[in-house]
Every structure is written in structure tokens, then in C-alpha cells.
Structure 1
Amino acid sequence: MNIFTTVISGGIEQMYQVLSNEQHLLVMTDSNVIKLDKVQSLVSSLEKQGYQYTLISDLPAEPTNHDVESLIDKLPAAVDVVVGIGGGSVLDISKLISVLYASNTDHLDNFNRLLEGEKPAARIPLVLVPTTAGTGAEATPNSIIALPEKATKVGIISPVMLPDYVVLAPELTTSMPPHITASTGIDALCHLIECYTASVANPVGDNYALIGMQKFFSNIEQVIEKPQDLMVRLNLLWASYYGGASISHSGTHLVHALSYPLGGKYKIPHGLANSLLLVPVFKFVQPHCVDKLADVYRLLPHADLTLNSEEMSLALVAYIEQLVSKLALPTYLNEIGITRDDLPELARNAMNVTRLINHSPVAVNEESVLSIYQSITK
């Protein structure tokens, strides 16, 4: 098993470089992605060229442990390669399933042990094709599963979950509605800027984060104005990939910790939850990471380099706030059906995401987390 990923960019047809029709493929996607002309063409081509494959095309968004249990019942007895084509949820499930096939034990028993904290030790060959430029799941060693009974999510994490191949095909992202393009794009920014400012930040992760943020800031506004521009789309796919690579070497912190309860209990899409929390979290942490936020500000296309570091860090947060507004994303929890009465439970559940809370650049408690939620609730 190879845990070093090869990235191929240019188009979904590039996938034939890494597949053999002597292998039985498990192709996994969701009900929206399977409707894309390019994906339909790929599936038809697999059949015409004699590939053996099983297609599962109804994977859920924000998958729960119950969703995975239901999926396990549908899996074929054996496959040689897992191919995941979709957004973060599809890619996360694909990684998880590739691990389950590598074990000689019952899939369901193996899954339950992973939920309880056992680390994945092996997987079968894995190819991932992202269809959104945001989650970076194709570059992370994580599979995130929602636990509705606990109103949160859990991360199953191991380097063995990094894929053998990633195919960056910008034509698969052009059909995304503007609000999905926007929210997934902000999700990529969250990965990059959180990893860069995390307590566990390091030079390797920082390098990925800075490259990714430069690509993000240079293309995020253009993609709304020119949604069919494949080079802009590809640059955002690279920004997303670098976000995932940053996570692999560092880790996200408060934006993700506070967004997990929104997805775990309320099924709020991950990118949308992060876009709501990005600005209030960075207003909160700005005094504690001035120099790093000034570094990020210098990447903006129209940065004012005459400002001092404090001014740059504040200007960056102001720019991000304007960007979220320009992308027409919600800015208050009330807009997604959450009221002030819900906030104490959200704060308690967020504090349980200790893996991410511990990465914060400043110590937090339940009261400070509650204050962040309150700042975006009318």
C-alpha cells in the first residue's frame, strides 16, 4: 500500500492512467454528481471498455454512523480499487470503505472499532476525484462521521487514508451553484488559515497554507464572475488541495470545533457552517496571532504594504468579512434556524471537540465559545 499521493490535473479522463480493466472497481458518488455529463460519460466509458465495476451513487451528505452502517449492507463481497468522485462527504466515505476492505474482519465490527478510536492500519488502493473546491478531503488522512446521538462529529484519522491518486478535474466543478462554490471556497480558506494559525502549526504545514491562500485570494472573486473559467476553477482546486495538505501536517482549530455541532445536530452543510464562524472566530483570535495574520494579509491582491502588522491583521479580518458578504453567504445563525436558546448546548458540544479546541492559538472555555456563537445570533 502506497501512502504517498500522486496528483494528476487536467481532466477526469486522466483517471484512465491509473486504472486497469483487470481490476474490480467500486465507484462511489452521490445523486447529484452522478447526473453530471462528464461523470455519466466516464461511467459509460468504463462499461464500453470492459472495466469491471460496481457503482454506488446515492451516498449522503454529512454522513452519519447510521448512514455508513446502511452502506455496508450494500457493498460487494470484494473489490480491488475504490474510486470516490464527489465532495468531501463522498471522499471521506470512500477513504473509510477502502480501509474496511483491507481488514479480514466483518465490515460493521471493524467500523465500530474505528469509531471507538482504533486507528486504521491498512486500506486497498484508492483514487479520489474532488468535485468541489473546498473540503480538501482528497489530501487529508481523515474521515469525518456525524454522531447524531452525541450532536457532534468524530474524525477517523490515519496516514494510511491518504489516497494513491488524486485527479483534479476542473470541469466537474463548473456546474456548482454560486452559493455552493462560495461556501466550499470559504471552507478551503478556513483550512488554510486555521492551520497557519494553529498552536500545532509548523514550517511544512505553513508552506502549504501560504501557497494555498495565495491561490485562493487570487481566484475566489473571479470564480463568481467567470464560473466557466477552467483555469480559475483549477487554481481553486489546488487551493483546496493545499488546504487538505495543511491539515495533514498541522490542524484546524476553533472554526471547525464550533462548526462540528452545527453539522452533527442540525445537519448544516460543513462549508456553510464554517463560513458563518470564520469571521467571529478570527475577530476573537486576532490579538493572539497578529504576525501570522499580517503574513496572510500580504497575500491579498491589493494589500497595503505601508500598514504595520497590527493594522494588517485587522485589515485581513475586515477583508474576509467583506468577502463573506460579497459571496452572499449567511452571517447569522438565525438565518439557518438556530436561536439564542440553542447556543448553550452548542457551546457545550463544541468544547467536547477537544482534538481541535486544543489547537486554538488562545485558550478558550465554554463561556468564550458561547460568546462567539452569541456574536452571530440576533
Structure 2
Amino acid sequence: MTQTHSAADIATVVQQTLQNFRPNRGFTFRSPAITVTGEYCVSQLGDALLELGASHVLMVVDRQVWQMGLLEGCESAIRLAGLQLTLFTEVEGEPDSELMTKGIEVLTQSGADFVLGIGGGSALDTAKAIAVVGDYHGPLTEFEVGGLASRKVGLGAIPTTAGTGSEATDITVINDVRHNIKVPIKGPALVPDLALLDPMLMLGVPASITAATGLDALTHAIESYVSKQSNLLSQAYAYHAMETVMAALPIAVGCGDNIERRFELAVAAYKAGLAFSNSGLGLTHAIAHQLGAKYHIPHGVANAILLPYVMSFNALCCEQEFAEVAKALGVSRDSMTPRQRCQAAIDAVRQLAADLGLPSSLREFGVLEADFDALATDAMADICLVGNPRQVTHGQVMQLMRQALEGEG
């Protein structure tokens, strides 16, 4: 949907932009100590764990992935290295505070000195929370602002989907069951010591999940690229991730056993994770977290629905950055004006989601406009909003949700 803006609108946004942006001349960039990639690279898992000083591993696994027998190679590599192994296979659905508490109890009782998450984003986020939050006390919301600086155990992550980038990030998202909100927990201690990317673990992922997780990775890349906290390194990783997802995702969705494209997506999701971990995200995620907690909309799907509307909202204050996004997505033309490039990027994201068969409106999930006020209030308090390039009001958040409710395009 093309939007028109008055001179007064533009002047207001320019003023907001000048207030919001700060030059990022100096920055700290965090990433996993060891990253292992390649086909069948799980065979190197034991050596990597030994290098990191592990002796007893708590493996936190997605139950469905475990039941499918996909992780026999991981278990064998750990045992062949002479390491003790304890299994925690209760991860189902999105991670929540009750599951985290159970996992912390298992970690304490087992005496493990290394927590290894294997599975989709839920398993990885659960593992990260178990490894870190167990050393602290207090409500989850106390940890939103980056207070988790240390942990007593090692931490590793092996994704079986290409999307969340949790294997590279300093953040985990846990559903606070008591308050029914998603809490993004952030801190240096949440960056894994080990990330292992093996495309062979991703070959059985259904097309619908491949599509949703791929849009999650694309959202990470786009939001981090235009974040007011971005830096040269984060933008470089984000740009490459955008290029790769746009080229590889349709092929991987259509041909799930294409190892090359699966590998490219795995690396792209990792790079997008590195990018947003070191630059922040934005309004898309701030809203998506609330919709996921309230309506259990899959995170990647919520992002796919919301992203075009948030891009349109933000484009007015960072036209050049979105023009560069269009170039990364392969839809920029020399004859276009910067504003036309922005619109081309927005249209490309919307078309990609449609081509992959993803839902296009929130109404498909039973979202009610009556809930928008409370959802907007929670979104305004979400830590992801800190990186958004344009200031936003409670009313504007509600308006964006109204647009997404009907799938206005």
C-alpha cells in the first residue's frame, strides 16, 4: 500500500529522526567463541565441547526432533568424546517460564557443566534460559535490559531450523506464564560459546515451517539493518542475510532436500542473528511478541504479516537505508527514486510471503480489535522497540495492528 505524506508529516519525522539517531562510531561486537559449519559437522561436536572444557553435557532437545531420531549423531559424538550426557526432552511449543524452571532443576540435580540446546528456536531459547537465569533470582522482567552478564556453565546451540538465529544472539524470549507476556531477556551471558550449523539436520523441516522461519530471519536482517543502534559490522551481516534469504528461501521451500540452499539459509539465519544481537530489532518484533503471547501466532508468521506495515511506517525516516534494503532484495533499479526503492522493498517482502503461502492477516488467527489497547501497551514496553528508527505512539501501534488485521496491502 503506497502512502502519501504531507510536508508537516515529513518535517515532524525528520525532527524525530535527528533526536533518535546517534552515530555509532564505536561499538562492541559479540559472537560465539566457536562456530562449526558444514554437512555432517555434528561429527565434530565432541571435539568442540572438549575444547570448551565440557565434561558433562545437559542436552536440551525439542521433543519432536528427539522422537524423530534426528539427534543420534549428536549423542554419539558426545559419548565418543568421553563426556557424560543428561537429556532434557520436554520442550514443546514456545518456551515458557514453567519449562525453564523445570530445566534449571534438572541442571542443578545433574551437575552438568555445559548446556547444549538442539532444535528449533524454542529449544535453543529454553537452553539459554536454563544456562543463565538459574544463577539469578527475581522476576523475568528484571532481565530485559541486559543484566545477565555471566553464567557458571558452558552454553552451545545447534539449530534444526533456519530462522531465529538464537545460536548467535545475546537474547532469549520466554513466555511469562503468570503474566501472559513474552519477555525478551538480554545479556552477554546469553551468547553461546558454541554454534554448530549442519544442514543435514534441517532436511526434514516441512515447507510451512521453512517459510515461516525464513521470514523470521529476513525480519531480523531488515530490522537490524535500519536499527538506530546498527553499526558497520551488523549492517554487513544483515545485508548478506537479506540477499541470501531472498534467493534461497523459495527454493528450499519448494525442494526441502536441497542441501546447498538449506546450508545457505542456515548461515543467513546465523548472520541475521549476529546482526540483530549487536544492533537491536524494532517495532515488528515488539508487536509480534505480544501477539504470540496472547494468540500463540507462530513468531515467524506474525513477523511476516507485520513487517510490510512497519517498513512502510519506518521508511519515512530512513529512506536511504530502505533503498539499500531494496538493493539487497534484488528489486532496486537505477531509474527509481529513493522513495520508489523503499516501496519496492516493501512490495518484495509482501510478495515473498504470499508466494510462500504464508497468512496475510491477523484476522486469520482470531485476533480481536478489542485487545489492541492492551497489546499496544505491552508493545510500547518491549525492549525491541529501543532500536526502532522512528518514534512511535500507542495510537500508531494500534493503527498498524488494524492494518494487519485486515491484511490491507
In structure 1, the residue matched to 2:44 is: 14
Letter of the 1:366 counterpart: H
More displaced 10-residue stretch of structure 1: 60-69 or 19-28: 19-28
For residue 251 of structure 1, give the secondary structure of its aligned residue in structure 2: coil
State the secondary structure of the residue aligned to 1:38.
coil
Which of 234-243 and 31-40 deviates more?
Answer: 31-40
Aligned to 1:88: 121
- TM-score by length of structure 2 reads 0.84
Once the two structures are superposed, residues 37-71 of structure 1 have per-residue CA deviations (whole angstroms, 9 ceiling, x without a partner) of 43134335645775420011121332222222233
Cα distance in 2 between the residues matched to 1:231 and 1:198: 30
Once the two structures are TM-superposed, the CA of residue 341 in structure 1 deviates from its matched residue by 2.3
Asked if 1:344 corresponds to 2:373, the answer is yes
Does 2:357 match 1:324? Answer: no
Report deviation, 1:4.
Answer: 4.5
User: Using a 3 Å threshold, how does the CA distance of structure 1 residues 22 and 166 change in structure 2: closer, same or farther?
Assistant: closer
2:335 maps to what in 1?
306
Partner of residue 21, structure 2:
none
Cα distance in 2 for partners of 1:65, 1:329 equals 29
Q: 1:279 to 1:32 in 2, by over 3 A?
A: same
Conserved 8 A contact 1:151-1:261? no
146-155 vs 292-301, which deviates more? 146-155
User: Aligned partners of 2:54, 2:402: CA distance in 1, in Å?
Assistant: 56
Aligned pair in 2 of structure 1 residues 3, 318: CA closer, same or farther (>3 Å)?
closer
Matched length: 369
Q: Match of 1:42?
A: 74
**Residue in structure 2 matched with residue 369 of structure 1 by the alignment:** 397
Decide which of 181, 195, 200 is 1:166's aligned counterpart: 195
- Residue ranges of structure 2 left out of the alignment (5+ in a row): 1-29
Counterpart among 15, 35, 60 of residue 92 in structure 2: 60
Who is 1:146 aligned against? 175
The CA deviation string for residues 289-328 of structure 1, in whole angstroms up to 9 with x for no partner, is 2111111111234643332221111111011111111111
Alignment correspondent of 2:102: 70
The alpha carbon displacement at 1:179 in A equals: 1.0
- The one of 303, 307, 310 equivalent to 1:281 is 310
Kindly state the Cα deviation for residue 280 of structure 1 after the two structures are TM-superposed: 1.5
CA separation in 2, counterparts of 1:79 and 1:195? Answer: 35
Letter in 2 for 1:157: K
- Distance of 2:81 and 2:150 partners within structure 1: 34
The secondary structure found in structure 1 opposite 2:182 is: strand
Instruction: Work out the CA distance in 2 between the residues paired with 1:302 and 1:35.
Output: 42
Which residue in 1 is equivalent to 2:298?
Answer: 269
The corresponding residue for 2:142 is: 116
Distance 1:3 1:122 in 2: 16
Structure 1 unmatched ranges of 5 or more? 104-109
Q: Mean alpha-carbon deviation: is it higher for 72-81 or for 221-230?
A: 72-81
CA distance in 2, matches of 1:230, 1:159: 32
1:79 to 107, 112, 116: 112
Q: Render the CA deviation track for 1:119-156: whole Å, top value 9, x for unaligned.
A: 34224122210111000001101121112443422222
Stretch moving more, 140-149 or 114-123: 114-123
Query: SS at 1:358's partner residue?
Result: helix
Whether the 8 Å contact between 2:125 and 2:173 is mirrored in structure 1 is yes
Alpha-carbon distance in structure 2 between the residues aligned to 1:201 and 1:90: 28
Using the alignment, how far apart are the partners of 2:388 and 2:331 within structure 1?
29
| AA in 1 matched with 2:221 | L
The verdict on how the C-alpha distance between 1:4 and 1:237 changes in structure 2, with shifts beyond 3 A counting, is: closer
Change (3 A) 1:349 1:49: closer
Q: Which amino acid in the other structure matches residue 95 of structure 1?
A: K
Q: Secondary structure at the match of 1:207?
A: helix
Structure 2 counterpart of 1:242: 271
Q: Provide, for residues 165-218 of structure 1, a one-character-per-residue CA deviation record: whole Å limited to 9, x for no partner.
A: 111011111111111101100000111100111122222211111121122122
1-side partners of 2:350 and 2:101: how far apart?
40
Give the AA of the match of 1:192. A
2:45, 2:74 within 8 Å by CA — same for their partners in 1? no
Residues 308 and 90 of structure 1, relative CA distance in 2, 3 Å threshold: same
| Pairwise CA distance, 1:17 | 2.5
Tell me the secondary structure at the aligned position of residue 215 of structure 2: helix
- Give yes or no for contact 1:3–1:160 (8 Å, CA) kept in 2: no
Alignment TM-score, normalising by the size of structure 1 = 0.91
C-alpha distance in 2 between matches for 1:287 and 1:375: 18
* Equivalent position of 1:29 in the other structure: 61
Q: Secondary structure at the match of 2:224?
A: helix
Q: CA deviation at 1:114?
A: 5.6
Q: Deviations over 1:253-294 (max 9, x none)?
A: 100000111122222222122112111111222222211111
The answer to whether the Cα contact below 8 Å between 1:148 and 1:264 also exists between their aligned partners in 2 is: no
Q: Does 1:127 align with 2:156?
A: yes
